Amino acid sequence: MSTQQPAVSPRGAARALTMLFLGAFVMGSSEMLVVGVLDLVAGDLGVSVSTAGTLVTGFALGLAIGGPILTALTIRLNRRTILCGTLVLAIACNLVVALSSSYDLTLVARTLTGAFAGLFDAAAFAAGIAVVPRERAGRALAVVISGFAVSTAVGVPLGTLLGHAVGWRGSYTAVVVLLAITLIATVALVPSVPGTGGGGVDGQVRYAFAPRVLAVLALCALVFGAAFAAMTYIVPFLQEVTGISGALISVFLLAYGVATAVGSFGGGRFADRDAGRTLIVAAVGAAGSLAALHLFGTNPFLVALLLLALGAFVMGSGPSLQYRVVALAGPGGQLAQSLPASAINVGIAFGSFAGGVAVGSFTASAAILTGLVIAVVAVPVAWATSRLEPPVVEGSAPPPSGEPGVALTGPKK
C-alpha cells in the first residue's frame, strides 16, 4: 500500500486532532451517559432498571458488530465525509432518545448510535494518523482514545449531574448540541483524507482478520476484561472490604477515571517507541495492580493508589493495541481500525459477566480475583503477540519507528 506524508501544517494537524478528540469525547459521553441516569430513564419509559440496562448492551453490541460492518461498506469513502456523516446520524439518533417515549424505539436508536460510533472510531483513527508524521502515529491515536477516556472521567459525571438537575432528556439534548458543534468544526478544521480500500473489501477482510490480528484483538479483550471484571463491582468492594461509603466512593472512582485519561494520553509515546513491549508492561502492570488490590484492599490510601495504577496501565495500553492491530493488518488496516473497539467491548461484557458470577457466588473481593486471573492470562498472550510481524506486501512503504506495516494515508493536497 502506498503511503503519503501529511500535507498539513503542524498547526493544522493540532486543530484536526483537537476536533477528533472533541468528537470522541462527545461520542463517549453519549454512550455512557445513560449509566448515570438509568433510574430516571427506567421510571420515565415505564420499564424496570434491569430492562433499561439493555440500552447499554444495545449500544455496545451496535458498536462491536455494526462498527466493523459499516467500516467495510464505507472503506473507499473519504474519512472526513464519514466523520461528518456519522455525526449527522448520531445527532438524529440522540434526538430520538431525547424525545421518544417508547422504550423499543429508544433501544433501536441506541443500538444504531453504537454502530455509527464504531464507524466514527475507525474514521477518526485513520484521520488522526493521516495528519501527523509517521513517527507520531501512536500519539495521534492516543489523542482520539483519550477523548473516550476523558468522557468517562469527566463527561459522564457532569452529564449525570445535569441529568438529575434538568432531567435525563435535558442531558441528551446537551449531547445533541455538542454533536452539532463538533460537526461544524469538523467540516471547517479536519482535512480531506481519502479512503484507500486497497484490494477491495475482500482483501481488507482477509488481512484484517488474519490470525496475527485476531491474537492482538484477543489481548484487547483480555486486558479490558480484567479491568472491568474488577471495576464493575468496585463499589461493593470499597464498601465491604475497604470500608469506604457515601461521597468518598466518588473520589475513588474519579481517581480511576483521571488515571485512564492520563494513561491514554501518555500511552501514545510508548506506542511510538515500542508498542509490543508496551503491551507486555501494561499486562504485567494490570496483573500486579489487581494482585496488590486484593492483598491490601483494606488500606484506603493504597487502594486509591492502586486504582490510579490500574487505570493508567489499562488505558495506557490503548494506543499500542490500536497501533499493533493496524500494523499487523497491513493492507487491511483501514478495516482493522474499527476492530479494537469491538474487541474491547467484548472484553468488557465478558469481564463484567465473569465478575458478576464471582460476586454472586462468593464476596465482593472475588471480582478482584477474577480480574487478576484474566490479567495473568493476558501476560503470556502479550509476550507472544509482541513477536508477531506484519505481512510483507510488495511495494509497501518502510515501517515507522521500528513498527512495520502501518499504512498512513495523508490528506489530499
- R_g of the chain computed on alpha carbons: 20
Q: Is residue 309 part of a domain?
A: yes
> Cα–Cα distance between 269 and 36 in angstroms, integer?
33
Residue, of 87 and 408, whose pLDDT is higher = 87
User: Nine-digit cell at 376?
Assistant: 495473568
Q: Is residue 29 part of a domain?
A: yes
Residue, of 215 and 348, whose pLDDT is higher = 215
Give percent of the chain with pLDDT exceeding 70: 91
For the ranges 27-31, 154-158, 342-346, which has the lowest average pLDDT?
154-158
Q: What is residue 400's predicted lDDT score, i.e. its pLDDT? A: 42
Residue, of 401 and 159, whose pLDDT is higher = 159
**Domain range spanning residue 21?**
10-385
Sign of torsion, CA 353 33 339 386?
negative
The stretch 61-81 carries a mean pLDDT of: 89
Q: What is residue 42's predicted lDDT score, i.e. its pLDDT? A: 86
User: Nine-digit cell at 211?
Assistant: 490470525
Give the number of domains in the chain: 1
Q: What is the pLDDT of residues 303-332, one digit of tens each?
A: 999 999 999 999 999 899 989 998 999 888
Burial call 277-307: b when 16+ CB within 10 Å, e when fewer: ebbbbbbbbbbbbbbbbbeebeebeebbbbb
Q: What is residue 106's predicted lDDT score, i.e. its pLDDT? A: 95
- Residue 110, pLDDT above cutoff 90: yes
Helix, strand, coil share of the chain (percent; to 5): 80, 0, 20
Q: What is the pLDDT of residues 216-268, one digit of tens each?
A: 999 999 999 999 888 878 878 888 899 988 778 878 888 888 888 888 888 88
Instruction: Say which CATH number the domain at 290 has.
Output: 1.20.1250.20
Helices 365-385 + 211-231 axis angle, to 10: 160
User: Nine-digit cell at 227?
Assistant: 479491568
Q: Is residue 103 part of a domain?
A: yes
Q: What is the pLDDT of residues 346-359, one digit of tens each?
A: 888 788 888 888 87
Q: Is residue 409 part of a domain?
A: no
- Residue 12, pLDDT above cutoff 90: no
Q: Is residue 177 part of a domain?
A: yes
Q: Is residue 396 part of a domain?
A: no
- Residue 181, pLDDT above cutoff 70: yes
Q: What is residue 394's predicted lDDT score, i.e. its pLDDT? A: 58
Q: What is the pLDDT of residues 81-92, one digit of tens each?
A: 999 999 999 999
DSSP letters along 345-358, please? HHHHHHHHHHHHHH
User: Nine-digit cell at 281?
Assistant: 508492561
Q: Is residue 405 part of a domain?
A: no
Q: What is residue 196's predicted lDDT score, i.e. its pLDDT? A: 65
Q: Is residue 150 part of a domain?
A: yes
User: Nine-digit cell at 23?
Assistant: 468528537
